[in-house]
Structure 1
Amino acid sequence: MFAYGQTGSGKTHTMLGDIEGGTRRHSVNCGMTPRVFEYLFSRIQKEKEARKDGKLRFTCRCSFLEIYNEQILDLLDPSSSNLQIREDNKKGVYVENLREVEVSSAREVILQLIQGAANRKVAATNMNRASSRSHSVFTCAIESTWEVQGVTHHRFARLNLVDLAGSERYWKQIMAVK
């Protein structure tokens, strides 16, 4: 899921909403990300209940990175900077040394979002008093395994939630062309 638009148009608010207020379920002001994870963990719970006999196990790991001035920074471990993108035959494309945190509930995801959002680069612009000046990517890798009649099944999914930085220059260029 991508949030894209002009500076001050509400991309970050659409993605996160009012998460500083804690982890109230179904808050009117919560953004897409908390809603997605509330739904995800409710589905996980339903799957567990439906497959009690299948020894169903879920693992969810989250990471949160920022791209600022062409450098990759770990928002969950601010001491890490200038991380590198790598490619591996088995892993695919990944960010080397990016911290992944195992989570087991929507509440834990929101706590990671709050921690990471506090580490983002923000600055005042003509459009917004505290505009995010970077791109951010919140990723959740979800794995499940279960056993049926002696056969082990495995599923894997990766959810990427991307909040792109706005660009006043881009908007000015469009207005100059018109």
Structure 2
Amino acid sequence: MAAGTSGTPVGVTVRIQAQDFDIAGEIEALTGGRTDIGAVVSFTGLCRDEGGRLSALELEHYPGMAERAIRAIAEKAVTRFELCGITAIHRHGAIPPGGNIVLVVAAAPHRQAAFDGASFLMDYLKTDAPFWKKEHLKVGGAGEWVSAKDADDEAKAKWAEALRQSGQ
């Protein structure tokens, strides 16, 4: 673990798992007993079903590589935003509509750093972590593989430009 600005160890937790996660428990694991944290931002991505046709979203990943990619992004976020800690959990397997897919929790001395750290991690995770999504439909079985969205690339590009301008 690296040390934060207060000298307290910085926690970086990255997990990829099939089972659901406990949001409150993950926040407590990151922040419990810490007095250097002034803000916590959490983001939970859910399986969306527009139109009521989805039975599940299947998420596949490249084991080992996905964890390394997310950890590298998380460590950049800790350094860039001077976070006290960050947690990233991404599920794989078949996830029903309304089910949790991803959790990001960023802790920092101040709110803007926590917001920026969580947003930075999500924007890079959406483009750089090796995950593939396939829709399974209620009628007709397997649907299409889900393509990456231009908006995700644009969000990442904004961070890349900000990092370039700051010399990081």
> Shorter-chain-normalised TM-score: which range?
0.3 to 0.5
TM-score (norm 1): 0.32
Structure having the higher helix fraction is: 2
TM-score (norm 2): 0.34
State the structure with more CA Rg: 1
